[in-house]
């Protein structure tokens, strides 16, 4: 029996595994985007003044309200970027093409693309599958995207 190494294409994730890994990463990003959207909605609901409420509060309350609404807007923008990244993960298995598309979307949104590194890594760690090859492929893709997005 001859020794076969991963460089020969045996023993490592294949093309289908990388496609499954990308889909799993996209699903993880969608979950995180949903969580951000729920957080943003909750912040807006809690800190928005009720229409016709004459007791809007002193100036400090207005400042707190502005800070909360700003945080909600930021969470919403980051959630949209995660949705864009999830869509790009579904379109291509090429990490360079995905990273280029994410960089363009981040630039358009005025957000740093490196901000997606932590959510990508979190998605790779919270995979909801028992497919070991897809897990490995997802982790490899997340690491490569982290490098390309500037998060090392």
**pLDDT tens per residue, the chain (152 residues)?**
344 455 555 667 888 888 899 999 999 999 999 999 998 888 877 776 655 555 555 445 677 778 888 888 888 899 999 999 999 998 876 889 999 999 999 998 889 999 999 999 999 998 888 888 889 999 999 999 999 998 75
Cα separation, 36 vs 49, in Å, equals 21
- Please tell me the pTM assigned to this model: 0.79
- Six-digit token pair at 102? 């994410």
């Amino acid at each position: 029996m001859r020794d076969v190494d991963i460089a020969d294409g045996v023993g490592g994730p294949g093309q289908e595994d990388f496609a499954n890994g990308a889909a799993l990463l996209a699903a993880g990003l969608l979950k995180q985007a949903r969580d951000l959207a729920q957080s943003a909605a909750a912040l807006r609901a809690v800190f928005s003044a009720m229409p016709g409420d004459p007791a809007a509060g002193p100036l400090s309350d207005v400042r707190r309200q502005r800070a909360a609404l700003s945080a909600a807007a930021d969470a919403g923008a980051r959630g949209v970027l995660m949705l864009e990244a999830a869509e790009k993960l579904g379109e291509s298995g090429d990490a360079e093409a995905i990273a280029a598309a994410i960089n363009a979307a981040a630039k358009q949104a005025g957000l740093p693309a490196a901000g997606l590194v932590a959510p990508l890594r979190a998605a790779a760690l919270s995979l909801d599958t028992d497919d070991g090859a897809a897990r490995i492929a997802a982790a490899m893709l997340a690491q490569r995207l982290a490098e390309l997005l500037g998060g090392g």
